Amino acid sequence: MTALHQWGVAELGRELAAGTVSSVEVTKHLLARVASHEQLGVWLCTDRDGALAQAAAADARRARGDSGALLGVPIAHKDIFVTRGLPTTAGSKMLDGYMSPFDATVVARLAQAGTVTLGKLNCDEFAMGSSNENSAFGPVRNPWDMARVPGGSSGGSAAAVAARLVPAATGTDTGGSIRQPASFSGITGIKPTYGVCSRYGMIAFASSLDQAGPLARSAEDCALLLSAMSGFDERDATSAQRPAQDFDAAMRHTRPGATAAQPLKGLRVGLPREFFPAALAGGVNAAVRGALAEFERLGATLVDVSLPRTELSIPVYYIIAPAEASSNLSRFDGVRFGHRASQYTDLLEMYKKTRAEGFGAEVKRRIMIGTYVLSHGYYDAYYLQAQKLRRMIADDFQRCFTQCDVIAGPVAPTVAWKLGDKGDDPVAAYLADIFTLPASLAGLPGMSVPAGFGEAGMPVGLQLIGNYFEEGALLHAAHAFQQATDWHVRAPAGVLE
C-alpha cells in the first residue's frame, strides 16, 4: 500500500471515505514522521493527544454516515493564527507562551470541516520576512537542501508540506508569503482576493494587505481547503460580503470550446514584460518558459502585457506595510499580554525594555521605518504618496485584464538562497519580493504552481494572478497544468520512502 504520508488532501479524503484507512492511523503515522524530522525546525508545538482525539471523533462521524472531503484529514496551522488550547507566538519572543481564549475564524472553519490539527508551524516573526530566518525560535530549513531557506514568512507551512509531514497547512500572504515559500519548496499555494478569508484571529502585520490561504500539494488540494476557509465573517471589518464558494467545483468548470486535449482553449495568459528582466536567473526563466509552453499546448494563448509600475511596488510596499505594522504592534507593550521586562523603574522604562527584549531585529527595523513615515512632516511625503501609487498599481492590473484573463510569470527572481546569505543585507531580501508585491498591493488573488527546477536543482514556481474574486479561474488553469505535468508530485530525496 502507498505510504500514508504520500497522499495529498484529495487522495486522503477519498481513501478515508472508502474506509481504506482511518484518520487515527494517518494521524499516528504523521506524528511519528514529525518526531523524526525535527532538524527542519518546522514545528513550534505539536498536540499528539488533541490530534488523536480529533481523529477518533472524525472516524466516529464517518461511521455514523457523515461525509466531507476534509473530514479526518490532518493539517497544521501557521503560528500566526490564534488557537484555543495551543500556544500562539507569531514566531516572536514577545508572545512566547501566549494562550488564546478563542480560535481564529480560519482555524474554526477548518475544524468544522473535520480537519485534524497536528500543531503550530514556525514562521518569520509577526510574518515579517522572506526566508523564515527571522523567527525567535530558530530558522526553518528547506527539505530540498537543508542549507537553504524555505522562503517566508510561511516557511514552516511550506517545508512541512514539502517534507510530507502534513498534506496541507495554512499560511498568510502580506507581500508574497504564501506564493514565495510555495515556489521555493516545490508545492502549491494560493493567496485569495483580499477579504475572501477572514482575518479575525490572525495576528496583524499590515491590516490592508494580510490575507490567509492554503499551502498544499496541488491545486485540487488548495481548492478543497479554500472552500472551507472562505466566506463572510461579521467579526472582520475587512471581510468581503460574499458567501462561501465551492472552489473545487469552480476548478473543474469546463471552458467553452475546451477539449480533453486542450482544456485551456481560449484562455488568454498575459506575460508582463517587467516580470522577465535580464537579471532573472537563467534556471528560473527556463522553468517558467517551459511551463508557459505547456499552457500553449493545453490551448492557452500567450499575450504580451505591461505592468509599468512593478519596480515601484517595492518602495510602496515597504512604506505602507511598516506603517501599518508600527500601528498594529503598538499593542505589545507588556501591560496586557505577552512578554514583560523583569526589571524596570517606571512605566516608560518598562515599555522600552519590554519591546527591546521582545522584538527581533527585523520587527524593530520595520517599526522604526513605519513610525518615521507616519510622523509629522513625513506622512504626506511618504505614506500618502505610497497610497496614491498603490492605486495606480491596481489600475495597471485592470488595464492588463482587458487584454488577458490571467497573468503569469515567475514568483521570485531566483531559487531559494542559502541560510545567512541575505542576513546582513535586508534590502536584498526585500528585492526578492518584486514579482509578488504588485498583486498584494492591488488585493488580487495569486498562486504559485510547481513548474520545474532551476539552479542547484531547487524548485521553481510559476505565478498565476487573476482578477478580483477569480480564484476559480486560477485554480482551473493550475489544475489543467498539473493534470498534464508531474512537477507537483516531485518530492525531496528520501521523503517518499
Locate the domains of the chain by residue range.
4-257+473-489
Tell me: the pLDDT tens digits for 169-213?
Answer: 999 999 999 999 999 999 999 999 999 999 999 999 999 999 999
- d(CA 404, CA 85) in angstroms, rounded, equals 47
Is residue 444 within 8 A of residue 406, CB to CB? The reply is no
Q: Where are the alpha helices (DSSP H) in 204-301?
A: 219-229, 247-251, 282-297
The answer to whether the beta carbons of residues 206 and 328 sit under 8 Å apart is yes
Cell numbers that stand for 57 in this block: 471523533
User: What pLDDT digit, counting tens, does each position of 118-174 carry?
Assistant: 999 999 999 999 999 999 999 999 999 999 999 999 999 999 999 999 999 999 999
Alpha-carbon distances of 107 from 80, 116, 168, 328, 471, rounded to whole Å: 11, 10, 13, 21, 21
Angle at 130 between CA 126 and CA 133, to 5 degrees: 70
Please give the helix or strand (H or E) that residue 216 lies within, else none: strand 211-216
The maximal CA–CA distance of the chain, rounded, in angstroms, is 74
Nearest to 491, CA basis, from 35, 50, 7, 62? 7
Give yes or no for a contact between 179 and 461, defined as CB atoms under 8 angstroms apart.
yes
Question: Is the Cβ–Cβ distance between 161 and 150 less than 8 Å?
Answer: no
Q: Please check whether residue 231 is in contact with residue 21, taking contact to mean a CB–CB distance below 8 angstroms.
A: no
Residue with cell string 460574499: 242
* Structural Rg of the chain based on CA atoms: 21
- Domain 4-257+473-489 listed as CATH 3.90.1300.10: yes
Q: Which of 22, 100, 131, 153 is catalytic?
A: 153
Identify the pLDDT of residue 377: 85
Enter the DSSP assignment of 154.
S
Contact 159, 174 (CB under 8 A): no
Say if residues 153 and 428 touch (Cβ distance below 8 Å).
no
pLDDT grade, residue 496 (50/70/90)?
A: low
Nearest Cα to Cα of residue 366 among 181, 163, 124, 148: 124
pLDDT of residue 1: 53
Secondary-structure percent of the chain, ordered helix, strand, coil, rounded to 5: 40, 15, 45
Q: Which of 22, 78, 120, 440 is catalytic?
A: 78
Of the candidates 177, 198, 230, 440, the residue annotated as catalytic is: 177
pLDDT at 497: 67
| Distance (Å, whole) CA 270 – CA 474 | 13
Fill in the amino acid letter for 416.
Answer: A
User: Cα separation of 43 and 133, whole Å?
Assistant: 14
22: annotated active-site residue: no
Sign for the pseudo-dihedral over CA of 413, 415, 419, 421: negative
Give yes or no: 67 in active site.
no
Q: Does residue 313 carry a catalytic annotation?
A: no
pLDDT band at 225 (very low <50, low <70, confident <90, very high): very high
Which helix (H) or strand (E) segment holds residue 460: the answer is strand 459-465
Contact yes or no for 178/448 (Cβ under 8 A): yes
Can you tell me the mean pLDDT for 39-52?
97
Question: What pLDDT, on the 0 to 100 scale, is given for residue 336?
Answer: 85
483 within 8 A of 261, measured Cβ to Cβ? no
Q: How does pLDDT run across 329-365, given as a tens digit for each residue?
A: 999 999 988 899 999 999 999 999 999 999 999 999 9
Within 23-154, where are the H helices?
Answer: 23-36, 48-63, 105-112
The SS3 of residue 121 is strand
Q: What is the pLDDT of residue 63?
A: 97
What's the CA gap between 362 and 351, in Å, rounded? 19
Residue 330, helix vs strand vs coil = helix
Cis peptide leading into residue 153 (ω within 30°): yes
The whole-angstrom separation of Cα 324 and Cα 2 is 47
> What's the chain's average pLDDT?
96
